[in-house]
Chains A and B, each alone.
Chain A
Amino acid sequence: MDHLLELLADHDDASVLAGGTDLMVEVNLHGRRPGTVIPVGGLEEMREWNHRPRSNSVTIGAALPYSDMERGPLAELLPALAQAARTVGSPQIRAAGTIGGNLGTCSPAGDILPVLAALDATIHVLHRDHSRDIRFADFMTGVKRNCLTPGEVVHSVTVPLTRGWQGYAKVGTRNAMVISTASACLVHDAEEGHVALALGAVAPTIVRAVKAEAWLSRQVDLRGTFRVSPETAHEFGLRAASETSPITDHRSTAEYRRHAVSVLARRLLERSAS
């Protein structure tokens, strides 16, 4: 790890290589020619995950591949993360792709990002000379932009474990292996009595639907198990969608994206309630 940080500090043109499922597309398709490439996949501490019962949280190494999240004990602790991981690409992509890479690329369509946003994840960033803990909301700054500076690497991500339902849903025009047209992650914190909703691919960054969340808290007592009427769920969806600013491109239209996230938000809320 120290060696990695030394290398990164000495080469400010360096590209970190994790699974390469974004970086190699940049190289092969978009003609990117990184001067220095530093692989991180071999660093055991970045490929581990740890359950910390004391702080009731899980820390996930940035280079842990998706295939380790979609099933097994980590999937049981964080079902929304497992569902998001399962939607990424194909088995080959999931065997290589990592959270660190999803954060490095920071595409609004990145499937892990809404999960990190809904869970209020903390991103642990290391540099030879310093370290920073960054809230996800502050980490992603725009379309394919984040707040990393040269010499920094994402080491790991910590998310709190909550009691309550959580889930991820993603719309694409194909039943598997498709880039998100719109996505949503909903996390119910039954102790705090709160529902967090994060929306993907409908704005330059991941959107936390804070107004809809607050509105819902006023409508329904969200402590423990709860029920919502179809009308409340419907309105929750519409309110969440109004917090987005989607675009029209070759993948879909702004109108459809806004509509789709409202449906996803409604359905996820209904699932969390039943």
Chain B
Amino acid sequence: MSVVTGSSTRFGALGSNANRPDGNAKVQGGFAFSSDMWAENMLWGATMRSPHPHARLLSIDASEAWKIPGVECVVTADDVPGLPNYGLIMQDQPVFARVGDTVRYLGEPILAVAADHPETCRRALAAIKVRYEVLEPVTDPERCIDGSAPPLHPDGNVFRHQRIVSGDQTIIGEIQVEGTYEIGMQDQAFLGLEAALAVPDTGGDGVELYIATQWLHEDRKQIAACLGLPEEKVRLVLGGVGGAFGAREDISLQVHTCLLALRTGRPVRISYSREESFFGHVHRHPATIWMRHHADAQGRILRIESRMVFDGGAYCSTSPAVLINAITHTQGPYKCENATVDGWALRTNNPPCGAMRGFGVVQACFAHESQMDKLAAATGLSPVEVRLRNAMETGDRLITGQIMDSVAPVERCIRETDAIPLPPPMPMDANELLVPGGTGLTALPSNIRRGVGWGVSIKNLMYSEGFDDFSTARCRISNGAVHVKFATAEVGQGFVMLAQQIARSVLGVDDVYLDPIDTQVGSAGSTSASRQTWMSGGAVDAACRAVRDELLDRVATARGLVRQELRIDGTDIVDALTGTRIAVAEVIGDHEIDHTVEYHHPATEDLDENGQGNCHVAFAFVAHRAVVDVDPDLGLVKVVQIATAQDVGRVLNPLSVQGQVEGGIAQGLGLAVMEEIIVTDGKVRNPSFTDYLLPTFLDAPTVDMVLIEEPEPKSPLGAKGVGEPPCVSVTPAIANAIRNAIGRELPRVPVRPYDICL
């Protein structure tokens, strides 16, 4: 662990609100997002997609498209030289649907074209005749469990079925509470749309892809396999990424763009529109979760039973891992060793679902936190007291048999949140825009009821179940300057800033140059699972330390000093024996030092058939208390305040943490009251920001936060990931607050106006 001393919180170092290297450009509109990329002689690509959720693809006739001047290329499944399918876990998703085979969701790619102008592409797509035999879509995942659905894919309709059977199955609680909860399909809704630019090598035996993604090396592996090229012939460079939230973990336009470029020998760019984006990436799994808690009369949880059904949609994506996250978080941040959980992730003809911020834990948390309020009501305890009584601690045994060995300040999260003052009651002359209904002027303060609700959560950090998601970083001193290189996808979270902060703190320099983010260095793993500060932060820290150690060795030798007495303090090398200070900047010009280091987290295990195993690396915790104003007659909601205390290990950049907390809360609020992809009969009804509603500034609450700093000994910088926890328990906190205001069960999110008032 690096120690942050008073002197190392100098501006730009760890612990300070360092400037983001991409900050000014982003604020001023000068930052090049991947949809801004352009190359000389570039063609435009476009994708044709299935208009049916389930159909047999009978024929494709592209002859008319080829006749359109400016059309350079049409590629179909027949033109994929390597593996026909891709996928993160199971390779079950076709690059393009194949004639004779079926299409399994509305929006599945059929073919792609390249032309001299986007408008030419549009005309080309309109000129291509595709015939389908429309089939009945399977949209109810239960039909995949009871076996009444036909197999939709040679790999079957079950992505994963996993039980947890733990401890005593016979316990019957004096108090029992149960419910069936539903979570709607949320979209990541990043603002920077999917875009890629592929530039073929001269000679055409390789390609360079500029791409907005979360994990360059995993993309490269899948792209190379589909292109039938060795990995070193496919080079990826990170394009400017405008948000990700899980939606860029899977391949979307990568293979299509490369294929068109290799075929035409010209650079090709594909950029999705907002509408296409809704079909081009996976979403958060809609889920139905039944839970029953057994407790004693004092409200202590004795046993939990649960059944979870996750609709994975047409292709596997990360469904099995999402499911495992959900079922292993059934107990929430509470003590309990006895559980029976039955989890299913299933294939249907609905849109494919996969990673989204919170990754399965969001769904489980909505269920267990709804249950905790029922338990509070059944035992006569307050929502705070019932949670405190069950609060998990370090050393507890989880329902997977794993021992909680992370710092686990659950009680502190709850108490510190509880200590944050409640907002004053709504004044009768409140600003009319702050009343539920906002600019619609639907209500007066006298129409409104206020409610308070709680949500507390546990979230695993890093990849699980035996996955070695290591990260690589290179640090070098060259020509008197420090350079850091990594393949960590900067998706907006600020790793580029953190890497500089780490290098400044470890090496005692102010200027740190970042090399391009590409595949010319080892994998960094994915920018997911709240893992990059820990993993890539750990790698950058280790690489910088290796360079620092060699530098101090050399300085000691050159100047005849005792190596053990040398350390870096601020921007100086200090000799503890003599008190001599030498500015680092003064010596680095004399040395060329270069180290590349991989950082690995401790190994984890697969779950066995009873769901037992040390499957997770580490955990973080957070509590949320929501205050909402509700218009009971119209069902409109305004979230007034979110109070939160989050277990962050250590704050490396206060402003950045605040940004993650506030942003995650806005995203969790979206799921609570408005964000949902509405799918009927396999058809997405609202693929636009007109009807897929994201919270606006007027919907965003005041956020009052406490950051709990108890450094995590296992983490290289003492810090825990802060990205996902904010959006996990804020959703049930808001739902519980609405329930508190109006006294209804509200078993589903998003809570719709008519759920409240009809």
Contact = CB atoms under 8 A, between A and B. Distances in A.
B321 to A, nearest CB: 30
A115 to B, nearest CB: 13
B440 interface: yes
Contacts of B439: 86-87, 170, 175-177
A264 B693 contact: no
B690 interface: yes
8 smallest CB-CB distances across A and B, nearest first, come from A175-B438, A250-B685, A170-B440, A256-B754, A176-B698, A175-B698, A250-B678, A176-B439
Given A31-B122, A87-B440, A256-B753, 17 more contacts: A86-B439, A171-B440, A171-B442, A171-B636, A174-B699, A175-B437, A175-B439, A175-B638, A176-B699, A178-B693, A179-B690, A181-B753, A249-B685, A250-B686, A253-B754, A255-B758, A260-B753
Interface string A247-274: 0011111011001100110010001000
A87 B439 CA distance: 5
B691 interface: yes
Contacts of B443: 267
B436 interface: yes
Interface in B636-682: 636, 638, 673-674, 678, 680
Contact of A174 (B444, B695, B758): B695
Nearest to A255: B758
B275 interface: yes
Contacts of B273: 28-29
B46 to A, nearest CB: 13
B36 interface: no
Q: Please indicate which of the listed interface residues B439, B634, B690 has the most CB atoms of chain A within 10 Å of its own CB.
A: B439
Nearest to A31: B122
Contacts of B754: 252-253, 255-256, 259
Interface of B: 122, 273, 275, 433, 436-444, 447, 633-636, 638, 673-674, 678, 680, 685-686, 688, 690-691, 693, 695-699, 752-754, 757-758
Q: Please indicate which of the listed interface residues A83, A181, A250 has the most CB atoms of chain B within 10 Å of its own CB.
A: A250
Contacts of A183: 440
Interface string A101-115: 000000000000000
Contact-size category for A: 35 or more
Contacts of A31: 122
A246 interface: no
Contacts of B673: 173
Contacts of A181: 753
Contacts of B753: 171, 173, 181, 252, 256, 260
A179 B691 contact: yes
Contacts of A267: 442-444, 447
Given A29-B275, A176-B698, A260-B634, A170 B442 contact: yes
A167 B678 CA distance: 33
30 contacts: A31-B122, A83-B441, A87-B439, A87-B440, A169-B437, A170-B441, A170-B442, A171-B440, A171-B634, A173-B636, A173-B673, A173-B674, A173-B693, A174-B699, A175-B437, A175-B439, A175-B440, A175-B638, A177-B696, A178-B440, A181-B753, A249-B685, A250-B678, A250-B691, A256-B758, A259-B757, A260-B753, A263-B634, A267-B442, A267-B444
Contacts of B633: 263
Contacts of B696: 174-177
A195 B443 CA distance: 20
A168 interface: yes
A86 B433 CA distance: 11
A170 B753 CA distance: 14
Contacts of B636: 171, 173, 175
A252 B699 CA distance: 19
A83 B432 CA distance: 11
B692 to A, nearest CB: 10
A224 interface: no
A71 B698 CA distance: 19
Contacts of B678: 250
A271 B432 CA distance: 14
A177 B440 CA distance: 9
Contacts of B757: 256, 259
Interface in A197-248: none
Q: Please indicate which of the listed interface residues A83, A256, A271 has the most CB atoms of chain B within 10 Å of its own CB.
A: A256
Interface in A88-129: none
Contacts of B438: 174-176
A171 B688 CA distance: 20
Interface in A56-87: 83, 86-87
